[in-house]
Chain A
Amino acid sequence: MTTGPTNQMSLVTVSHLTKNFKTHKAVDDLSFTVQEGDVYGFLGQNGAGKSTTIRMLLSLVKPTVGHIEIFGMDLRKEKKKILSQVGAIIEKPDMYKYLSGYENLSLFARMSGPGITRREIMTQLEIAGLAGRENDKVKTYSQGMKQRLGIAVALIRNPRLIILDEPTNGLDPQGITDVRNLILHLSRHLNKTIIVSSHLLNEIEQVSTRMLIIDEGRKMMEGPISTLMDREKMVVEAEVTDADDAVRLLESSPWYSYLQKKTGRQLIFQLPEQLIPDLNRELVRLGIPVKSLQSKNSLESYFLSLTRNKQNVATFTN
């Protein structure tokens, strides 16, 4: 996990973004801010609205309502200026399979403006680990090589903002590690601002400085990773034999205020880490038969607990 720089300026400001596809609301009144230097993790289950939001950031999809400002400019009015400083991979990076890796990279670089040299393209291909295969057609590349070529396309013009939508999709463990290391390198050594979406929560947890969780197009939680990983807000799942009975017994106890919800045979509490043993003792004292007690402090626990309770909307700030 990394920490974000201080005295940052807002690079991306999204305000009340909404996207309707006929009767389906893919994104619902979404607002967030990405600071310069952030690695901004964008989390959500499949269909949560991540890709639609990212497509709106890249002008691929037009918002129904809302406003996007990038580098202090309105995306609707200054699209070309903004996109010339943005590199992106949207889902899997599809290339022209009948062209070589070099030709693909050259083609996309030239679309962003003139003045790209063969040397610059070759350097980028070397960074992507594709030197020696640059003249082979992309249809002969492995999935990992295609992904690396996609990242090379995103980085070729030295963009100020990099948007990676599910960059580890379809990669083997080594490929996933390579992408993770690349994100950390870009952030730490080149001070790039990166928005990275994924459903692989561990990946986001390891690279992000800030994150946003969305579900059904709505913001569930936003804030710095350090806040979300706060040990004062541990999630504790207690498995009991009768959850209704347990809640009735807890109602008269001061520990009831820590109870977040019950699901089936589980009681879910949120409380500081040092109070967990005391909670255990209290449950036993009240005569609640506890079959197991699990505490989680990972982002995954937050993500899962939040998406199970879709009404629970909270925003953490610095």
Chain B
Amino acid sequence: MWQLLQIELLKIFRKPRTYISFGAIAAMVVIIQIALKFDGQSYIEFLVGSLKDSLEIPYDHILNGYFVCFIILNLLLIHIPLLIALVAGDSVAGEANMGTLRMLVSKPVSRTTLMISKFLAIVIYTGLLLIWLAFISLLLSVLVFGTNDILIARNDALEIIGKNDVIWRYLAAFAFAALALTTVAALAFLLSVFADNSIGPIVSTISIVIVFTILSEMQIPLYDRTVKPFLFTSHMLAWKGFFYTKVDPGGSSLPGTIENIRAIGKSSGILLAYIFGFVSAAILVFNKKDILS
């Protein structure tokens, strides 16, 4: 298994396409950072809306590295699944298209082991992409904007988390984001088994994520209980829960607390179930598949 995993990682990281994702993330993050550096005040005014008059913290305190990172994650974690699909959707279908799948399957390796190795390699790729995102969105933002308390806008309220209470929340949020992105990777991996070129699974994954995201965001009571709780996209943004704290009777955030840890746990469980379901189905289908490419 270790040998196969090394081989799969070599294939992923020697392929130029892999680095599109890293480049795209870097470009987007830097563009956001430049915009906030030069026009951050306007963005904050827009963000706090009608509450700006009651805001007692100076804008230059609000516009710090932790806050910028939160903004970046809010904007990007919806779109990064598309980049994950580029690699995960290519994993089996790309090999079929190149003609290397028949070379792989005719080797003395069980198809199940081969598939597990491929998926683990995708998980590692996803993890590295998130580490890269964390590096440039958190570390670079802290270097450029400095650190301070973080202002979180929730519905019609503002929440302030002390700067000493932030890092662990980011670590937890990135860990949760890894789970969410792995779910998308597992979906692309499953679709990849059915195709003989990678365009189909990549486009299908992106389409499913977009449709499910729209359904998750729609405010239609009929879907609130019947559809939304079962869509993985409804649970992918639960990372924000790590920045929602309990408050004391005076309305101040309580350090080290999470408002609804059970909701995050439930979302994690649902995403894990999706991952298990998608990967199991992919292995099952691949084991029965005739390799004709």
Task: State in angstroms the CA–CA spacing of A76 and B4 once bound together.
Answer: 22
Q: Binary interface profile of A, 57-97, with partner B (CB < 8 Å = 1, else 0)?
A: 01111100000000000000001111110101011111111
Residues in chain A near residue B16, CB distance under 8 A:
98
With A98-B16, A107-B10, A111-B4 as given contacts, are A59 and B105 in contact (CB-CB < 8 Å)? yes
Q: Which residues of B contact A61 (CB under 8 A)?
A: 290-292
A139 vs chain B, min Cβ distance (A): 11
Q: Which residue of B lies closest to A137 (CB)?
A: B14
User: Is the C-beta of A108 less than 8 angstroms from some C-beta in chain B?
Assistant: yes
- Docked pose: A55 CA to B15 CA in angstroms: 28
Q: A82-122 interface mask toward B, CB cutoff 8 Å, 1 = contact, 0 = none?
A: 11101010111111111100010001101111100000000
Q: How far is the CA of A194 from the CA of B290 in the complex (A)?
A: 24
- Asked if A153 CB lies within 8 Å of chain B CBs, one says yes
Contact A60 B108 (CB under 8 A): no
Contacts A60-B291, A83-B106; is A110 near B100 (CB within 8 Å)? no
* Contact pick for A58, options B10, B14, B106, CB 8 Å: B106
Contact of A83 with B108 in the complex, beta carbons under 8 Å: yes
A54 to chain B, nearest CB (A): 10
Name the CB-closest residue of B to A54.
B106
Q: What residue in chain B is nearest A55 (Cβ atoms)?
A: B291
Of A86, A94, A99, A108, which contacts B99 at CB under 8 A? A94
Complex CA–CA separation, A279 to B98 (angstroms): 56
Query: For chain B residues 194-239, which have a beta carbon within 8 Å of chain A?
Result: none
Q: Is B104 an interface residue (CB 8 A)?
A: yes
Q: Which residues does chain B contribute within 8 Å of A92, judged by CB atoms?
A: 99
* Other-chain residue from B3, B7, B11, B106 in contact with A90 (beta carbon distance below 8 A): B106
In the complex, per-residue mask of B11-53: 1 if CB is within 8 Å of any chain A CB, else 0: 1001110000000000000000000000000000000000000
The 24 listed contacts between A and B (C-beta, < 8 Å) are: A21-B290, A55-B291, A60-B102, A61-B290, A61-B291, A62-B288, A80-B108, A80-B110, A82-B108, A83-B106, A83-B107, A86-B106, A88-B106, A90-B102, A90-B106, A92-B99, A94-B100, A98-B15, A98-B16, A99-B10, A107-B10, A110-B7, A111-B4, A153-B103
Additional 18 contacts, C-beta under 8 A, given A83-B106, A96-B11: A58-B105, A58-B106, A60-B105, A60-B106, A80-B108, A81-B108, A83-B108, A86-B106, A90-B106, A92-B99, A94-B98, A96-B14, A99-B10, A99-B14, A110-B7, A111-B7, A111-B104, A153-B103
